[in-house]
Structure 1
């Protein structure tokens, strides 16, 4: 008789955009309440994740008070949290607020890299390579030669280890024009060519778009995650105005099945109790 085992998994949250206590984002979005519900949802998962990865736009303005609020909201999570910056974040303040997260300051002290939060970490049996795509003070992203060189060296160092590459800005266009205009403007082609040379890369995980979007990329699968709060409207017409919508928030559960990474989109909300098939 065989005994079923709980599958290995990790969670990807994205774009919580936390503001200081007592405020609403844009005067309308209670991002703290949204994140609290998402955290409770993760805590209730039947399979406990090994880690929670948050792919950027952790807070709205990069302020120390916002990061303190974020810490409180993430505290109930039952596993380690791995943080990544987005265009709304400030790496120096993020490092100060999460000084106990040593990986955020683990970048080699090269002049071209010291201002970026680049790191390698374990996600159970998978290796995470976190790329910082932020251009300080700008909404769009970039991957310069130095950051791509760091990634190349990391991939060459462990060619046989299943690997996840994560970044905030997706390295592909989506058809949502106002968001594509603030996507990864430099380095996307070089990144795709580099990943294509390393078949150990199973996923390229991104945030920024506030929607679940998937595309083939460099021989792997590139994905953007939904926001833990508000979603970007699916406006694919060329003249679609920039807007957001209160579609259900959600997150990804990345689980290992038969040695392969399988991804599930898990919406957050009250959908009633599960009903047994009869």
Structure 2
């Protein structure tokens, strides 16, 4: 099974540019075209947050239209630049998000793999959080089924070695790691947020952050380093999963 991962789309209102520099809508259009043209074609696309750039009214229209061009089923989830209600309205037709409740968690199955999509957002803040309520949801799902499970979320629950992003990672990562280690069925933990492709051993499996489809951060491990946006080519990730085999991940540029 092949899973494509798009992340940190930062779609804007038509005519605007992210950080006054990047045409992220055009970049997403190119990424979607590239994914559609892959052979063999992926079985699924996961979109790990920051679908919008604000959140700001008018951003989810272009995002929904561009993601709607995918010829492969896709699973969206929120990031810190997203609005939960806006996502419900833009992508409710997919039948994934719960109609009610605070969080946009959901479960999806494809082939022999179960995917748990986690909402790590703290409204109006940049870091993420896995609070007791969210951890309880994960624990309940893991107790229900011991089959192979892939976790997708926006904020990484692990250190990635970035002076910019590590301070704004997901709070509660230690408790989350302990929970996952109690189960031997985690195929991987796929994240976004850091705007670079990064792989980290985590909870006895692979922790992976996909690059942004639209704009990449420069690598700087210096604590407190300022964010520096680069002209490095954006891209996406491809993950190859087979039962009983560790997840294999690749980064493709666009």
Q: TM range, normalised to the smaller chain?
A: over 0.9
Q: Where in structure 2 are there 5+ consecutive unaligned residues?
A: none
Matched, 1:145 2:132: yes
Matched, 1:224 2:209: yes
Aligned equivalents of 2:192 and 2:105: distance in 1? 16
Aligned equivalents of 1:181 and 1:20: distance in 2? 29
Structure 2 residue matching 1:78: 3-state secondary structure: coil
- 1:120 aligns with 107
The alignment's TM-score, normalised by the length of structure 1, stands at: 0.87
The alignment's TM-score, normalised by the length of structure 2, stands at: 0.95
Q: Where in structure 1 are there 5+ consecutive unaligned residues?
A: 1-7, 270-278
- 1:50 aligns with 43
- What are the superposed Cα offsets for residues 48-107 of structure 1, whole Å, 9 maximum, x if unpaired? 22211000000111234211110111122111111000000011111012220221126x
- What are the superposed Cα offsets for residues 181-205 of structure 1, whole Å, 9 maximum, x if unpaired? 21112x1111000000111001011
Please say which structure displays the higher CA radius of gyration: 1
Of 192-201 and 54-63, deviating more is 54-63
Of 223-232 and 244-253, deviating more is 244-253
Q: 1:266 aligns with which of 248, 251, 254?
A: 251
Question: What displacement does 1:178 show?
Answer: 2.1
In structure 2, relative to structure 1, the CA distance for the partners of 1:253 and 1:49 (3 Å cut) is: same
Matched, 1:33 2:19: no
What count of residue pairs does the alignment treat as equivalent?
254
What is the Cα-based RMSD across aligned positions, in Å? 1.5
- 1:14 aligns with 7
Asked if 2 retains the 8 angstrom alpha-carbon contact of 1:63 and 1:93, the reply is no
**Where in structure 2 are the equivalents of 1:189-268 lying within 5 Å?**
189-238=174-223, 240-257=225-242, 259-268=244-253
Structure 2 residue matching 1:152: 3-state secondary structure: helix
Question: What displacement does 1:124 show?
Answer: 3.0
Aligned equivalents of 1:268 and 1:237: distance in 2? 26
Moved over 4 A (4+): none
- 2:164 aligns with 178
Question: What displacement does 1:214 show?
Answer: 1.4
**Where in structure 2 are the equivalents of 1:94-105 lying within 5 Å?**
94-105=87-98
Question: What displacement does 1:242 show?
Answer: 1.6
Question: What displacement does 1:266 show?
Answer: 3.4
Asked if 1 retains the 8 angstrom alpha-carbon contact of 2:197 and 2:251, the reply is no
Aligned equivalents of 2:247 and 2:13: distance in 1? 36
Question: What displacement does 1:123 show?
Answer: 3.3
- What are the superposed Cα offsets for residues 116-148 of structure 1, whole Å, 9 maximum, x if unpaired? 100000133211001111000000111110110
Asked if 2 retains the 8 angstrom alpha-carbon contact of 1:37 and 1:268, the reply is no
